Amino acid sequence: DVQLQASGGGLVQAGGSLRLSCAASGFTLDDYAIGWFRQASGMEREGISCIKGGNTYYYGSMKDRFTMSSDNAKNTVYLQMGSVTPEDTAVYYCAADRFSCSNWYLQYDYWGQGTQVTVSS
């Protein structure tokens, strides 16, 4: 079965860095579009980035600070977060779609449980 597990979140001070991981199982990572999303308390879930077929797309203002990458050998994708601010505080999710990248979360078929990132001032 298709499963995704996001991890790597935690408490970090403003200006710091954090690397999130999304481990995929039950499918070959390279056959899917894998997206990163986040949802802050009381806010809509927003797209951060997506990788598919060697192409990476960024959807938000954080694109100057966040970098997405993949390791097909480990069946894992990553989100490197740099220069974080309190506005980055959110639950971060990874998601998979069989067909293509999108910044609209409802287009994705499979979701991990998410990992909490909290940025202190």
Q: Over the stretch 23-48, which tens digit does the pLDDT of each residue have?
A: 999 988 888 999 999 999 999 999 99
Which residues, at least 6 apart from 35, have a Cβ–Cβ distance to it below 8 Å? Answer: 47, 48, 49, 50, 51, 94, 95, 96, 97, 101, 102, 103, 105, 108
Judged against a pLDDT cut of 90, whether residue 60 lies above it is answered with: no
- Percentage of the residues of the chain whose pLDDT score is greater than 70: 100
Count other C-beta atoms under 10 Å from residue 106's C-beta.
7
Which residues, at least 6 apart from 63, have a Cβ–Cβ distance to it below 8 Å? Answer: 49
Report the pLDDT value the prediction gives residue 30, as an integer from 0 to 100: 82
